[in-house]
């Protein structure tokens, strides 16, 4: 029996894995996190104060204190049965990395003890050679190290009975270049905090710091593990490279907000409980539009912690799914013809005085502050749309962006009718002649009904890649498998750059003698005029918008190899170097790494396609072809007329055509891959893989394979079908 039929047969025997119902979430929330409260309990006054100071200032731990802190941390971890520790980091491969060391050690006299010294807490040297560095380590130093980032608290990961203390770290080379996603994010967040604080001082001198907030929404698919195992393409690439749509896809839209299937529900509760222990504040769960698709979202947090939590959640989801004999698919487009998955990044800024800078205010003064940050965001997205586009570019996201069910590759901003009107008012009413006597103009009427209106879903647009949703912007073009750090680094950097520019322009007007509020209004007006072409309220999935975007001169780069160009333009170099985020070399290195990732992904998909076609699809088709051929021959021999086996013959012809098309294309694709592999320049190679391998053959091969799936005897077909993977649990 084929693995597909075994999977089908076993499905009905699958029981829900029991998930205990713990007490209230609050009774175990963050129980596996070394929180500030835990630190208070396990550290000396001195060590505690030092740790708190480092957290507050975002600084490295004082070396003299490190051993005390490490001892306290070990004491706490041992109460939880922890035996090992690891530096946990987010390398550019896109997963997370750990290297476990035990507390256990032998002293020189042979005594066995448990130990965690300060040096091991604050710095480690993982074998960095296996992580991508885009040539950086070769050019500079051979080694890299991980260093504890105290702004993110240590936590305990439980895998079965094994428990490991994880120290969140950044990963850098000895000469200081970032080798991970986290270090640049911290720099960019700091840059934005500084620039935003200075702008806040126009309105409120008490603001000491601005925090960046992120609330992500994670979409994912869940399927039975046995089906997953019977699909080598899912195992190797995360998506199905073949598969004919089932008779019922999502036309009925009955899945969205429908009741959650029981097995998946048990899985959700289980991974939620694991997440709660790790301090991930998950809040919502629901079905998504596509069958077998779901979403979860936490309460928003400070951006670096939110990023860690999302990375951690993706690990937890994957691990817990296996306990339930399920598999979670985080790929952006696991199934063709069915909605893909995204990771909406809800982003805002909040002052240490507790004001959300993207929430409309209640007084004219707070409104002007809101308008300032709101318009600066639009300007930032307008000016750096290409860089923002590059930040979400990846091979899997190419399947989703612009696929008529996901935000297009054109970066535009949706702000809703009401705020559009406000911007128009500002544009029309603020004039160069405006002076203090016109101060009533400043009270542009946005505070009355705006919050209610914005919160109302009717004024929402779900087709925009970057939408204002009442008190935050939602960057929707981020892919479901992506690390949020990269898009957040870029968003924070472009916002920091724009706010700095804004401040210098306002200051220049003030110096010329304009009153502060008037000067701010003038610059805001200018920014609206300069960036309004990025605003779009209509249907972002429509063809009309693509045409309109061309007229407006907005970039629409559909493929990753080309989208990534924006990382290494003069403008990008000035942006990132000017704000201290990436050096010239770091940008070049990252560009190289992203291109290499793209090449590898397409290469693997192409290989898997060829292998599946040759070893599973064609043999099944040929077996069926034989059956049909024998049948026709038999009928003929029995003396029946042509007419009586006409249908069989036509079917035989169709199948034969598809068989030869598949095998020809597979052969040519393999040749094309070889040609690409001989290219030296990474960018050329990536473009080669995209145009000469992916675009030239993927759809073509898939078309014929999917036709065969519909023609060949179901009993012969070894790959689980869409209807099985998507509807059976």
Full DSSP string of 288-338: -SSTTEEEEEE--EEHHHHHHHHHHHHHHHHHHHHHTTEEEE--S-SSTTS
Contacts of 705 (CB under 8 A, 6+ apart): 242, 613, 617, 658, 662
Which C-beta is closer to Mg ion: that of 140 or that of 541? 541
Which C-beta is closer to Mg ion: that of 48 or that of 475? 475
Which C-beta is closer to Mg ion: that of 74 or that of 344? 344
Q: How far is the CB of 458 from Mg ion (least distance, A)?
A: 15
Which of ligand ADP, Mg ion, none is residue 472 near (CB under 5 to 8 Å by kind)? ligand ADP
- Considering only 469, 492, 498, 559, the residue that binds ligand ADP (CB under 6 A) is 469
Which of ligand ADP, Mg ion, none is residue 697 near (CB under 5 to 8 Å by kind)? none
**Beta partners for 345?**
216, 475
Q: How far apart are the first and last CA of the chain?
A: 20
Which run of H or E residues covers position 57? helix 45-57
Q: Which segment (292-300, 330-338, 363-371, 573-581) binds ligand ADP by CB under 6 A?
A: 292-300
Evaluate whether 101 touches 120 at the Cβ level (below 8 Å).
yes
- Considering only 71, 211, 213, 606, the residue that binds ligand ADP (CB under 6 A) is 213
Determine the residue with CB nearest ligand ADP.
215
Q: How far is the CB of 76 from ligand ADP (least distance, A)?
A: 29
Supply 418's token pair.
């009401």
Q: Which segment (166-174, 340-348, 381-389, 698-706) binds Mg ion by CB under 5 A?
A: 340-348
The beta strands (E) that lie in 28-152 are given as: 84-88, 100-102, 104-106, 112-114, 123-124, 144-148
- Considering only 235, 299, 574, 640, the residue that binds ligand ADP (CB under 6 A) is 299
Q: How far is the CB of 279 from Mg ion (least distance, A)?
A: 22
Supply 108's token pair.
């020189």
Q: Which segment (159-167, 181-189, 337-345, 364-372) binds Mg ion by CB under 5 A?
A: 337-345
Q: Which of 440, 448, 446 is closest to 517 using CA atoms? A: 440
Residue 556 CA neighbour count, 13 Å, CB half: 17
Q: Which segment (102-110, 210-218, 490-498, 601-609) binds ligand ADP by CB under 6 A?
A: 210-218
Which run of H or E residues covers position 276? helix 262-277
DSSP annotation of 245: P
Alpha-carbon span 97 to 99, nearest angstrom = 7
356 interacts with ligand ADP by CB under 6 A? yes
SS3 string, 13-62, reads CCCCCCCCCCCCHHHCCCCCECCHHHHHHHCCHHHHHHHHHHHHHCCCCC
Alpha-carbon span 598 to 390, nearest angstrom = 13
Q: How far is the CB of 625 from Mg ion (least distance, A)?
A: 49
Q: How many residues does the chain have?
A: 729
- Considering only 199, 297, 506, 609, the residue that binds ligand ADP (CB under 6 A) is 297
DSSP annotation of 128: G
Which of Mg ion, ligand ADP, none is residue 215 near (CB under 5 to 8 Å by kind)? ligand ADP
SS3 string, 538-602, reads CCCCCHHHHHHHHHHCCCECCCHHHHHHHHHCHHHHHHHHHCCCCCHHHHHHHHHHHHHHHHHHH
Q: Which of 56, 40, 48, 35 is closest to 278 using CA atoms? A: 35
Alpha-carbon span 142 to 91, nearest angstrom = 16
472 interacts with ligand ADP by CB under 6 A? yes
Which of ligand ADP, Mg ion, none is residue 348 near (CB under 5 to 8 Å by kind)? ligand ADP
343 interacts with Mg ion by CB under 5 A? no
500 interacts with Mg ion by CB under 5 A? no
- Kindly state the greatest CA–CA separation across the chain: 105
- Considering only 19, 214, 446, 478, the residue that binds ligand ADP (CB under 6 A) is 214
Q: How far is the CB of 398 from Mg ion (least distance, A)?
A: 22
484 interacts with ligand ADP by CB under 6 A? no
Supply 140's token pair.
């500079």
Alpha-carbon span 657 to 638, nearest angstrom = 27
- Considering only 324, 331, 344, 673, the residue that binds Mg ion (CB under 5 A) is 344
DSSP annotation of 720: P
Q: How far is the CB of 204 from ligand ADP (least distance, A)?
A: 18
Q: Which segment (143-151, 211-219, 416-424, 621-629) binds ligand ADP by CB under 6 A?
A: 211-219
462 interacts with ligand ADP by CB under 6 A? no
Per rule CB under 6 A, count of chain residues that contact ligand ADP: 15
Site string for ligand ADP, 316-355 (x = CB under 6 A): ------------------------------xxx-------
Site string for ligand ADP, 20-59 (x = CB under 6 A): ----------------------------------------
471 interacts with ligand ADP by CB under 6 A? yes
* Beta strands 301-302 and 343-351, pairing class: unpaired
Which C-beta is closer to ligand ADP: that of 284 or that of 626? 284
Which C-beta is closer to ligand ADP: that of 201 or that of 286? 286
Alpha-carbon span 518 to 645, nearest angstrom = 86
Q: Which segment (127-135, 159-167, 468-476, 599-607) binds ligand ADP by CB under 6 A?
A: 468-476
C-beta atoms surrounding 674 within 10 Å: 9
Which C-beta is closer to ligand ADP: that of 130 or that of 457? 457
Which C-beta is closer to Mg ion: that of 65 or that of 413? 413
Evaluate whether 266 touches 16 at the Cβ level (below 8 Å).
yes
Binding positions for ligand ADP, rule: CB under 6 A: 213-215, 217, 297-300, 346-348, 356, 469, 471-472
Binding positions for Mg ion, rule: CB under 5 A: 344
């Amino acid at each position: 029996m084929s693995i597909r039929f075994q999977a089908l047969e076993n499905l009905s025997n699958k029981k829900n894995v029991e998930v205990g119902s713990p007490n209230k979430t609050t009774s175990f929330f963050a129980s596996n996190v070394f929180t500030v409260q835990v630190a208070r309990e396990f550290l000396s006054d001195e060590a505690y104060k030092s740790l708190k100071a480092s957290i507050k200032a975002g600084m490295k731990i004082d070396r003299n204190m490190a051993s005390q802190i490490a001892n306290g941390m070990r004491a706490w971890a041992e109460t939880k049965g922890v035996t090992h520790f690891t530096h946990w980091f987010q390398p550019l491969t896109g997963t997370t990395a750990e290297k476990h060391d035990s507390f256990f050690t032998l002293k020189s006299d042979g005594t066995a003890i448990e130990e965690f010294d300060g040096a091991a807490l604050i710095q480690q040297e993982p074998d960095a050679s296996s992580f991508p560095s885009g040539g950086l380590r070769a050019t500079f130093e051979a080694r890299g190290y991980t260093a504890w980032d105290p702004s993110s608290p240590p936590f305990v990961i439980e895998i079965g009975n094994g428990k490991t203390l994880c120290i969140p770290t950044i990963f850098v080379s000895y000469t200081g270049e970032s080798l991970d996603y986290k270090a640049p994010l911290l720099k960019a967040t700091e840059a934005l905090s500084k620039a935003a604080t200075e702008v806040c001082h126009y309105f409120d001198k008490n603001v000491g710091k601005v925090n960046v907030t992120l609330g992500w929404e994670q979409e994912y698919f869940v399927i039975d593990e046995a089906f997953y195992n019977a699909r080598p393409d899912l195992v190797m690439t995360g998506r199905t490279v073949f598969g004919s749509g089932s008779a019922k896809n999502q036309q009925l839209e009955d899945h969205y907000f429908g009741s959650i299937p029981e097995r998946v529900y048990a899985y959700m509760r289980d991974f939620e409980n694991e997440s709660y222990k790790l301090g991930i504040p998950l809040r919502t769960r629901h079905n998504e539009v596509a069958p077998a698709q779901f979403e979860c979202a936490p309460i928003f947090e400070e951006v670096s912690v939110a990023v860690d939590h999302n990375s951690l959640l993706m690990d937890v989801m994957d691990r817990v799914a296996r306990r339930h004999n399920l598999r979670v698919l985080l790929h952006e487009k696991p199934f063709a013809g069915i909605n893909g998955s995204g990771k909406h990044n809800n982003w805002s800024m909040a002052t240490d005085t507790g004001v959300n800078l993207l929430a409309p205010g209640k007084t004219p003064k707070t409104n002007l502050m809101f308008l300032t940050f709101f318009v600066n965001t639009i300007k930032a997205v307008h000016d750096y749309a290409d860089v923002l586009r590059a930040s979400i570019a990846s091979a899997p996201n190419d399947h989703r962006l612009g696929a008529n069910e996901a935000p297009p590759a054109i970066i535009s901003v949706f702000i809703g009718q009401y705020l559009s009107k406000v911007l128009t008012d500002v544009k029309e009413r603020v004039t160069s002649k405006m002076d203090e006597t016109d101060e009533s103009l400043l009270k542009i009427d946005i505070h009355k009904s705006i919050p209610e209106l914005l919160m109302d879903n009717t004024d929402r647009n779900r087709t925009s890649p970057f939408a204002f949703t009442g008190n935050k912007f939602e960057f929707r073009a981020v892919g479901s498998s992506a690390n949020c750090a990269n898009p957040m680094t870029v968003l924070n950097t472009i916002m920091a750059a724009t706010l700095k520019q804004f401040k210098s322009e306002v200051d220049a007007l003030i110096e010329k003698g304009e009153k502060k509020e008037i000067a701010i209004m003038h610059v805001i007006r200018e920014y609206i005029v300069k960036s309004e072409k990025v605003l779009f309220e209509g249907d972002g999935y429509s063809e009309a918008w693509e045409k309109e975007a061309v007229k407006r001169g907005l970039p629409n780069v559909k493929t990753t190899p080309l989208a990534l160009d924006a990382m290494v333009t003069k403008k990008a170099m000035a942006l990132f170097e000017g704000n201290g985020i990436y050096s010239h070399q770091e940008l070049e290195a990252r560009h190289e790494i992203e291109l290499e990732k793209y090449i590898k992904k397409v290469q693997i998909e192409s290989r898997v396609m060829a292998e599946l076609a040759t070893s599973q699809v064609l043999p099944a088709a040929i077996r069926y072809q034989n059956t049909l051929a024998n049948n026709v021959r038999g009928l003929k021999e029995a003396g029946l007329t042509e007419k009586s086996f006409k249908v069989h013959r036509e079917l035989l012809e169709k199948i034969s055509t598809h068989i030869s098309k598949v095998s020809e294309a597979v052969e040519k694709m393999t040749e094309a891959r070889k040609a690409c592999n001989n290219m030296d320049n990474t960018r050329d190679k990536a473009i080669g893989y995209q145009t000469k391998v992916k675009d030239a053959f993927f759809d073509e091969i898939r078309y014929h394979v999917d036709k065969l799936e519909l023609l060949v005897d179901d009993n012969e077909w070894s790959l689980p079908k869409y209807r099985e993977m998507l509807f059976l649990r």
